[in-house]
Amino acid sequence: MTSTSSTLVLDPDSARQGYDRAETVRVAVLGVGMMGQDHARRLATLTAGAELVAVSDVDVARTDAVAKEFGVRAIHDPKAAITDPEVDALVIATPGFTHEELVLLALDAGKPVLCEKPLTTSAQTSRRIVEKEAELGRRLVQVGFMRRFDAGYQQLRALIASGEYGAPLFLHCAHRNATTPPNFNSEQLMLDSVVHEVDATRFLTGEEIVAIRVIAPRSSTQAPEGLRDPQFVIMETESGVLVDVEIFVNTTFGYEVRTELVAEKGQARIGQHEGIVTQSAAGWGGSIAKDFKERFGAAYDIEFQRWIDAVRDGSNVDGPGVWDGYAAAAVCEAGVRSLHTGERVEIDLGPRP
Amino acid sequence: MTSTSSTLVLDPDSARQGYDRAETVRVAVLGVGMMGQDHARRLATLTAGAELVAVSDVDVARTDAVAKEFGVRAIHDPKAAITDPEVDALVIATPGFTHEELVLLALDAGKPVLCEKPLTTSAQTSRRIVEKEAELGRRLVQVGFMRRFDAGYQQLRALIASGEYGAPLFLHCAHRNATTPPNFNSEQLMLDSVVHEVDATRFLTGEEIVAIRVIAPRSSTQAPEGLRDPQFVIMETESGVLVDVEIFVNTTFGYEVRTELVAEKGQARIGQHEGIVTQSAAGWGGSIAKDFKERFGAAYDIEFQRWIDAVRDGSNVDGPGVWDGYAAAAVCEAGVRSLHTGERVEIDLGPRP
Amino acid sequence: MTSTSSTLVLDPDSARQGYDRAETVRVAVLGVGMMGQDHARRLATLTAGAELVAVSDVDVARTDAVAKEFGVRAIHDPKAAITDPEVDALVIATPGFTHEELVLLALDAGKPVLCEKPLTTSAQTSRRIVEKEAELGRRLVQVGFMRRFDAGYQQLRALIASGEYGAPLFLHCAHRNATTPPNFNSEQLMLDSVVHEVDATRFLTGEEIVAIRVIAPRSSTQAPEGLRDPQFVIMETESGVLVDVEIFVNTTFGYEVRTELVAEKGQARIGQHEGIVTQSAAGWGGSIAKDFKERFGAAYDIEFQRWIDAVRDGSNVDGPGVWDGYAAAAVCEAGVRSLHTGERVEIDLGPRP
Amino acid sequence: MTSTSSTLVLDPDSARQGYDRAETVRVAVLGVGMMGQDHARRLATLTAGAELVAVSDVDVARTDAVAKEFGVRAIHDPKAAITDPEVDALVIATPGFTHEELVLLALDAGKPVLCEKPLTTSAQTSRRIVEKEAELGRRLVQVGFMRRFDAGYQQLRALIASGEYGAPLFLHCAHRNATTPPNFNSEQLMLDSVVHEVDATRFLTGEEIVAIRVIAPRSSTQAPEGLRDPQFVIMETESGVLVDVEIFVNTTFGYEVRTELVAEKGQARIGQHEGIVTQSAAGWGGSIAKDFKERFGAAYDIEFQRWIDAVRDGSNVDGPGVWDGYAAAAVCEAGVRSLHTGERVEIDLGPRP
């Protein structure tokens, strides 16, 4: 099996060896919807070595309001932000369909980018970015697969890599949201949610996914009319690991992401509920995360810190890159096809540049 | 959806209302291999109202040894045991291929039978027994699906039946054994192990299973050469509940049966590890059941007590019956076909007499 | 340190070696309040080898009603039940102040007794029974410390006895009830509840308790006026193990008994919540036992089965005996003294006959 | 009961409202042993808005080595570091006996200080600092009680404050270390370890501790000769909450800090094991934290970020302050007295300036 990712598993102790760093990295955030605002706040208050200097959004009023809140520049044209000489690096949190153009411009400008998933909205356009970055000969783009920075995923990957439990056989995954935004459609379960399981599978196993099948059981009456929710996704990796994913985005009450590894000589689970455990007339137990921010907040924090560290060191970005974004897009495209046909669909990524 | 089972969920408090019972029930155990001996011991020492009076096995030496151990009669011909006037009821724990003949004889003799699964080795022969019992007009046969008497399954069934969590959408199941006996073949994962998940699904949902598909991922190098282990089984019920089963019978270290319900407004899990939790240089945690006796010992005890109670009361047997045995056989046959073809196979049980 | 108990840890596999047993044991239950009725039902329906033949209670109407329910004789004078030639063995579930007289009569009659705790209401009277039984030269009395038959306590005792974790240093215990009956007083927390921790400590460590101190923190406003609830009890064993007990009998919502061992090289906990685990709008978790019947029902079942097995075998009773009942009474008396004085009180059991 | 602390429970969402902040805070770390180096690394790489500019230690060689590693100035005289005009704020991680002098100098210099616990080595000297800061009329000193920034403690404090479970009755605490450094003495269990439980109790309940008693059970043979380990500490708060602490610093294998609240209508536990859960031939379970850095690493990170945020905002330091340090010193002094006498010792803090 081929190596699928240039992502290193990051040892927090060894990772920051050089302290003789460049100055603070000046960052502009493109797109300041919910996600972009969260990232702006992260950069402004929590990421060491980063300085939020500008925000940019097609919504002019929103741009101005957010800029004012953080005391930074409002740049109304995202393209201008990319080429601005006082911007060192970019976070892209605009809608997915804009990513291709913005990332290509950032590559032209030679500036590091942290691009929220998806890298682009199709395998074909993502492939174009893979080739463009390969021509440049250096890594500039990191894709926002934040789970790679979650402690549980890191532990599980290390366990698999250790070989202690023999070869992996199954990954059983569940991805549950409380509710979906209006107009969420059946394809988005794959493109917005399962995309994370796709990347997690590649991260955990170090293998590409070669086939996918989507089965839609009865839909929940709690889901909006017409939405195929839940769905059940079955993926196969190069070596034959079977990955099943329950994707259910209208659980009505909580957010949950769990993965169970079944290997030849052992099993392991991540994503269990943690925190305070109570007993009262309501029984014993605890609370369930409300949303992805609660579940993966720490992973985002680490993702940003590591990205800024890498940018500051002048080294290449070392998180998930354009190939990872391309592979995820290709698998999800196949998944959407399977949702419509009910058939198993094979994935061929072609050669890696 | 049709009701699939005459099994009542048993309320331990209300179940034994009549104390004005007949005398002790005299039981013969047919087949005294590992399972039959275990049942003989149970009847001899633990089941109130039962008296073990005879054992019978084609292995004459074994029959004599076990009879001597328990101080009961050795009857070398199982058919003679069935018609023996001093035997009131029968436990059948002989190999599956003998069940059809023995159960039919017991029906002829009008004696209550607790028959270990499978009821018979084919849907066709099980169907014959269904019809024969229907002609008699009273229930005499209980099939040994002991999980129905496990506290966890009872709780989960009650939760589903309450409707509190809305309609069920998924059952995620895992069935793991430490190792398999010699000459265990790929079909037996379905016939000997998944058969329990088939019955459990029917018990929990109150629905028939209408389709099955078996996917065989890479086999574990820890499994015997040639055995397709693990397998992944996907079943669909009448209303569209999707049931996935990881069946893995060479985990190398332990026995585990777990089920997770995903319903519209809640989830629930049974089969978690229980018992003492330790902390030491080895980490924190506990031990894993070695085998089905450890995991389901209490369920067998209750199964036997309830069966003897019913026999003693002169009431009909009220545990899982011949229709349950037939339905399980039909689904497992379809599963074996799917294992060989890779295709989804539909199941048609025909009319229930 | 001296050995404190003749109780064997019972290996369920080896325990019932002899099947050539006497006939069924005919049992009378003395006292048919809530506890006695529960035991009557157990003997009538669940305990193999037992036959409930009579019930007896000073409340004539209740005696008649319960006798009718179970189809057995009503004997209005408990003393007559003890000497009745058709009664082989006795369960005593009358109020504690009657135990001394009834147990002594049973010893006179040479009949096996399972006496609910307390053995008697004072150390002095319990001591008298110890001496009386010693004169008889055989064990006839078992005291109803059912926790010794709970799987968790058995596992914890075995772990301590194995020496794997070195010497025990602490037992941290919690004993919680939902509510107390009317007129429950501050002493009863010790006499009715902590008495179980006293016996459990002796069972687990194999040591006598040499000192006790009771600290009463602020009382809960949920407890009845005037009741010192909760209390905090600190006991010391011969070798210096420190045992702390939170006793809290008006938690308002549930019943819970937990013990944590802290030993030199490891720790272990028993009494965690078990059973189905759910997720819903209420959070994740499970239900809490309502009362001791739910928590220790299986332990009572095993206690009774083992007692009947021993009686039937003609062997001596092998559960907790009169010395255990006496030691518990002596420690609890000291505890009541400490509750009143706030001082540490030492216990001297005197020589064991 | 009086309010004991000026510490706010920090709402992570509301806390950083002002983004119009001063420049980066230039910090010197005094004392660069294990703890000081850890803090230097934290400031250099992880704390947004902080700039590590100097380190200082009486060990000249160590100072130079650490200064070189981080590319900052080595200042061989800690007092010079305090008054250095290019140092805005100070972290004190020198041995405890130096704290009084250094903190007083920092107060003279009017510079914010984050001082590792203990504030000073006696209640009397801590009291002096309380008075000195009170004279200044503004808060400059934060004491390094990092647990206040741990998510679990924050959740438990919020639960108590909500009143949902009624008044608190007990806190059951356990504090376990794998091993102790050479020459660790019996008093240090109180001064170095239980001091955290003292502050945690005050933080959680919002009450002062009014009495303490230490009971030393048998010592572990795994502890160094002469060390009283473990110990059992019982504290009482103003309103009568009983706090028991198992302090055991030679468990041989791991680090663990747990707290259980028992309140009138509910209980709650924090400090359970979290992270990946595995199953293998070794059983099911997970790993135990090796040391306080693993257990409280995130709490230290938050503590530092919040401290720098407050310093940068020009607002007063808002973490645990000198009164908290003084109260902890007074309770621990009483605890040492109780260890020696076995008696309950009362604590009188005197008036708060």
Instruction: Please write the tens of the pLDDT for every residue from D331-342.
Output: 999 999 999 999
What's the total number of domains in chain A?
2
Average pLDDT on A96-110 reads: 97
From B72's Cα to the closest Cα of chain C, the distance in A is 9
Please indicate, yes or no, if residue A106 is contained in any of the structural domains. yes
What is the pLDDT tens value at each position of chain B, 353 positions in all?
333 433 333 333 433 334 445 579 999 999 999 999 999 999 999 999 999 999 999 999 999 999 999 999 999 999 999 999 999 999 999 999 999 999 999 999 999 999 999 999 999 999 999 999 999 999 999 999 999 999 999 999 999 999 999 999 999 999 999 999 988 999 999 999 999 999 999 999 999 999 999 998 999 999 999 999 999 999 999 999 999 999 999 999 999 999 999 999 999 999 999 999 999 999 999 999 999 999 999 999 999 999 999 999 877 677 999 999 999 999 999 999 999 999 999 999 999 98
Burial track B127-150 (b if 16+ CB lie within 10 A, e otherwise): bbbbebbeeeeebbbbbbbbbbbb
Residue among D315, D350, D306 nearest D138 (CA): D315
Do A110 and A83 meet the contact criterion of CB atoms below 8 Å apart? Answer: no
Rounded to an integer, what is the distance from CA A223 to the centroid of its chain? 24
Chain B residues within an 8 Å CB radius of D285: 277, 282-286
- The answer to whether the CB of C205 falls within 8 A of the CB of C197 is no
Return d(Cα C225, Cα D155) in angstroms, integer: 32
Q: Are B182 and B251 in contact (CB under 8 A)?
A: no
Q: What is the pLDDT of residue B316?
A: 67
**Are B197 and B127 contained in the same domain?**
no
Phi-psi region of C84 (alpha: psi -120 to 50; beta: other; left: phi over 0): beta
Containing structural domain, residue B134: 25-147+298-321
Whether residue D287 is found in the same domain as residue D302: no
Mean per-residue pLDDT, A177-184: 93
Phi, psi torsion values for A338, nearest 5 degrees: -65, -35
Min Cα distance A34 → chain D (Å) is 14
Under 8 Å between Cβ of D209 and D233: no
CATH of the domain at A116: 3.40.50.720
B51 φ/ψ angles, rounded to the nearest 5 degrees? -130, 120
Candidates C254, C256, C283; nearest CB to A286: C283
pLDDT of A316 reads 67
When comparing pLDDT for D314 and C175, which is higher?
C175
CA end-to-end distance (rounded Å), chain A: 17
H or E segment to which residue A100 belongs: helix A99-109
Q: Verify that B279 and B306 share a domain, yes or no.
A: no
Return the closest-CA partner of residue D271 out of B285, A287, A274: A274
Task: CATH number of the domain at C162, please.
Answer: 3.30.360.10
Q: Which residues in B lie closer than 8 A to residue C303 (C-beta atoms)? A: none
Tell me, yes or no, whether B351 lies in a domain.
no
For residue D237, list its beta bridge partners: D209
- Is residue B259 one of the residues assigned to a domain? yes
pLDDT at res. B15 = 37
Q: Mark whether A196 and A341 lie in a shared domain.
A: yes
| Model confidence band, residue A161 (pLDDT cutoffs 50, 70, 90) | very high
| Single-letter residue type at C346 | E
Cβ atoms of residues B227 and B199 within 8 Å = no
Tens digit of each residue's pLDDT (9 = 90 or more) over A54-81: 999 999 999 999 999 999 999 999 999 9
pLDDT at position A313: 82
DSSP state of B165: T
C277-280 vs B266-270, strand pairing mode = antiparallel
Pairing state between β B256-263 and B266-270: antiparallel
Task: Decide if C267 and B280 are in contact by the 8 Å CB cutoff.
Answer: yes
Task: Report whether the peptide linkage leading into residue D168 is cis, meaning its omega lies within 30 degrees of zero.
Answer: no
Residue D9 lies in a domain: no
Is C279 in the same domain as C302? no
Residues A142 and A177 occupy one common structural domain: no
* C84 or A4, which is more confident: C84
Tell me the longest C-alpha to C-alpha distance in chain D. 64
| Angle at the Cα of C15 from the Cα atoms of C9 and C18, rounded to 5 degrees | 150
The 10s digit of each residue's pLDDT in A6-36 is: 333 333 343 333 444 557 999 999 999 999 9
Supply the pTM of this predicted model: 0.94
Smallest CA–CA distance, residue C240 to chain D, in Å, is 5
Q: Which of B19, B50, B274 is opposite residue C274, by nearest beta carbon?
A: B274
DSSP secondary structure string, A172-195?
A: EEEEE-S---TT--HHHIIIIIIH
* Chain D interface residues (partner C, CB cutoff 8 A): 166-167, 169-170, 172, 174, 215, 217-218, 220-222, 230, 232, 234, 236, 239-242, 244, 246, 248, 251-253, 262, 264-267
Same domain as D291, residue D179:
yes
Inter-chain Cβ pairs, chain A and chain C, closer than 8 A: 44
Other C-beta atoms within 10 Å of C200: how many? 26
Alpha-carbon span A29 to A104, nearest angstrom = 16
Q: Which of A15-19, A157-161, C72-76, C243-247 has the lowest mean pLDDT?
A: A15-19
pLDDT digits (tens, 9 = 90+) for B275-329: 999 999 999 999 999 999 999 999 999 999 999 999 998 776 779 999 999 999 9
In a domain, D325, yes or no: no
In a domain, A17, yes or no: no
Residues A214 and A267 in one domain: yes
Report the C-alpha gap between C197 and C213 in whole angstroms.
14
What is the least distance, in Å, from the CA of C34 to any CA of chain D? 27
Question: Domain check: are A189 and A335 in the same one?
Answer: yes
The answer to whether residue A45 is domain-embedded is yes
Same domain, B253 and B310: no
What is the reported pLDDT for C318? Answer: 73
Interchain contact, A167 vs B244, CB within 8 Å: no
Give the best residue of A1, A212, A220 to mutate against chain B (max B CB count within 10 A): A220
Predicted pLDDT at A130: 98
* Within-domain flag for C216: yes
End-to-end CA distance of chain C: 17
Residue D318 confidence (pLDDT): 72
Question: How far, rounded to the nearest angstrom, does the alpha carbon of residue C335 sit from its chain's CA centroid?
Answer: 17
Give me the DSSP letters along A8-38: PPP-TTTS-------SPEEEEEE--SHHHHH
Residues A84 and A63 in one domain: yes
Q: Are residues C37 and C64 in the same domain?
A: yes
Q: Choose, out of A176, A179, A279, A294, the residue to mutate when testing the contact with C (most C CBs < 10 Å).
A: A279
Identify all chain B residues contacting A218, using CB atoms and an 8 Å cutoff: 167, 169, 239-241
Contact D231, D339 (CB under 8 A): yes
Show the low-confidence residues of chain D (pLDDT under 50). 1-20
Contact assignment for B279 to C270 by CB distance below 8 Å: no
- Cβ(C1)–Cβ(C168) below 8 Å: no
How far are the Cα atoms of A45, A51, A306, B40, D164 from residue A317, in angstroms, in the given order? 22, 18, 9, 68, 48
**C-beta separation of A234 from B172 below 8 A:** no
| Cα D303 to Cα D10: distance, rounded to the nearest angstrom | 11
